[in-house]
Amino acid sequence: MTADAFLFWFLAITTIAGGITVVSVANPIYAALSLAFTMVSVAAVFVTLEAYFVAGVQLIVYAGAVMVLFVMVLMLFDLKHELEAFARGKVSGAIKLLTAGLLGGLLIGAIAYSPEGSKIAVGANQVAVAGDPTKNLGYRLFTQHIFAFEALGVLLLVIAVGAVALSRSKGGTHGQR
């Protein structure tokens, strides 16, 4: 096994283990922590692909965002209560298993029935990234993919507005005004 292959399998296993822990752990604190761990592992995978900029951004944006989630978990959840609600209950457990099974089947089906793509020749994508890869990325993002980029921005705005609306309708943390 070469060093590259070892690194890939090591990172792949840690990433997937982290991801499974996020959904299998009962305590939301540990779930948030393992989500952060998964994000860091994904950043490491990007590093092995020599996408250093994406790796750095992955750390800043995603790890930072999970940080906020972590704070939310700490501040807003009644953790003792959550522990019971997450861990107990036969009906909800069955539903969880069913959902996980459905999702798993969907994924396996998608992989199994997708047409086998033509293998990209080694060095084929090297032509595209001539010059500074970060500059290239930025250029493409703001020319070819500008619509998707702006649409994502709008989506995030919708999420922000929705979060504010939801927290206000229940009184949020500051009570009714």
Residues forming the site for another protein (CB under 8 A) = 29, 33, 36, 40, 43, 52-53, 55-60, 63-64, 67-68, 70-71, 74-75, 134
Q: How far is the CB of 54 from another protein (least distance, A)?
A: 9
Q: How far is the CB of 156 from another protein (least distance, A)?
A: 15
Q: Which is nearer to another protein, 74 or 106 (CB)?
A: 74
Taking the CA atoms of 83, 87, 91 and 93 in sequence, report the sign of the dihedral they define.
Answer: positive
Distance CA 5, CA 62 (A): 26
Q: How far is the CB of 61 from another protein (least distance, A)?
A: 9
Q: Which is nearer to another protein, 24 or 99 (CB)?
A: 24
Q: Which is nearer to another protein, 72 or 103 (CB)?
A: 72
Task: Write out the two tokens for 62.
Answer: 């995603």
Q: How far is the CB of 43 from another protein (least distance, A)?
A: 7
Residues in the chain: 177
Nearest one of 11, 6, 84 to 41, comparing CA atoms: 11
Q: With contact defined as beta carbons under 8 Å apart, do 63 and 40 qualify?
A: yes
